[in-house]
Amino acid sequence: MVSGEGYVSIDQEEYYKVQPGDAVFWEKDEWHETKSDIGLTAIVIQSKELNPADFMPFK
């Protein structure tokens, strides 16, 4: 996310708030939804080579 705020879902029942600085990863062919009341700007990258775990710190 670059600006704004909104919500994402993969099941149409539970939504997660997203804001600038957040990254969201979906599996190939996974249904998903993004919505916002005030608008949002995001950068979308599709890649067969991208491994999300490479970008996520261990907690």
28 assigned to some structural domain: yes
Using 50, 70 and 90 to split pLDDT, how confident is the model at 58?
A: low
Domain region containing 1: 1-46
Q: What is the pTM of this model?
A: 0.77
59 assigned to some structural domain: no
**Which region among 10-14, 29-33, 50-54 has the lowest average model confidence (pLDDT)?**
50-54
Phi/psi at 54 (nearest 5 deg)? Answer: -65, -20
Q: How many domains does the chain fold into?
A: 1
At residue 4, the pLDDT reads 97
Starting from the edge strand earliest in sequence, which strands make up the sheet with 33-35, in order?
A: 16-18, 6-9, 33-35
At residue 56, the pLDDT reads 77
53 assigned to some structural domain: no
